[in-house]
């Protein structure tokens, strides 16, 4: 089974801190994603990556950056955490199809509940 591992289940940080959320997948997936999940807002895409060192902005990239130095690892960085970044953060990965474009199903990690005080 595909495993997507997020380094922390719960994290508490202070306003202004730099925060790193780590995600590792073990199935050689090309695509990796960071979403945040908030009640009543569903999942919103922050950033995604379809190859090593490649990144694309999602719908809400402000206040975040990402790093993909190795295929299996996709890090989300909060440069200066703010209280409105308190949320559940979900990492996901997927394969590319041979013809490209059509995404196969996403495999999600268990999430990191981040609280910024």
59: contact with other proteins by CB under 8 A: yes
Cα 8 from Cα 101, distance rounded (Å): 31
Of 15-23, 63-71, 74-82, 97-105: span binding other proteins (CB under 8 A): 97-105
Q: Compute CA distances 62 → 47, 59, 66, 78, 100, whole Å.
A: 10, 9, 11, 10, 28
Two tokens, residue 77:
């960085």
Of 13-21, 63-71, 72-80, 89-97: span binding other proteins (CB under 8 A): 89-97
Q: What is the pattern of x (binds other proteins, CB under 8 A) and - over residues 9-28? A: --------------------
Of 16-24, 50-58, 60-68, 69-77: span binding other proteins (CB under 8 A): 50-58
Q: Compute CA distances 75 → 7, 61, 62, 114, whole Å.
A: 10, 14, 15, 15
Cα 5 from Cα 26, distance rounded (Å): 9
| Residues found near other proteins in the complex (CB under 8 A) | 31, 33, 35, 40-45, 48, 50, 56, 58-59, 90, 92, 96, 100-103, 105-106, 108-111
């Amino acid at each position: 089974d595909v495993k997507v591992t997020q380094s922390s289940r719960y994290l508490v940080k202070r306003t202004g801190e730099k925060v790193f959320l780590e995600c590792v997948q073990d199935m050689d997936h090309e695509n990796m994603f960071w979403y945040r999940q908030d009640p009543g807002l569903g999942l919103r895409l922050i950033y995604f990556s379809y190859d090593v060192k490649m990144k694309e902005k999602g719908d809400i990239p402000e206040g975040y950056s990402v790093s993909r130095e190795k295929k299996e690892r996709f890090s989300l960085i909060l440069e200066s955490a703010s209280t409105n970044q308190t949320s559940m953060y979900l990492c996901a990965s997927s394969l590319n199809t041979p013809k490209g474009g059509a995404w196969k199903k996403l495999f999600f990690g268990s999430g990191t509940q981040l609280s910024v005080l």
